[in-house]
Amino acid sequence: MVEADRIRGTVAQLCTEVMDVVGQATGPGPLTGSAAHARAVADLQVYLRQHHGHRDDTRLGAALLTGETDGGWTW
């Protein structure tokens, strides 16, 4: 579970950063002029909403502090 939380958090953070950068670089054009792009952005936003950021990070931090890892690597 610890590794899954790490990966999920990293992916969510990177996706959010990419959406911000792309949105700033392209402006509203692709969202209004490309149905495929608008759908992809909407789908990604739904995926990101499934990540419970702070709650998941809190659980991950507690697991790392108490040594409750999956037997994998730790930071």
Cα within 13 Å of Cα(53), Cβ side: 9
Output the average pLDDT for the chain.
85
Is-contact 2 64, C-beta < 8 A?
A: yes
Using the predicted structure, report yes or no on whether residue 70 has a pLDDT greater than 80: no
pTM of the model as a whole: 0.67
Closest by CA position to 48, among listed 75, 3, 4, 17: 17
Per residue in 25-59, pLDDT (tens digit) is 999 999 999 999 999 999 999 988 887 778 888 88
Model confidence band, residue 4 (pLDDT cutoffs 50, 70, 90)? confident
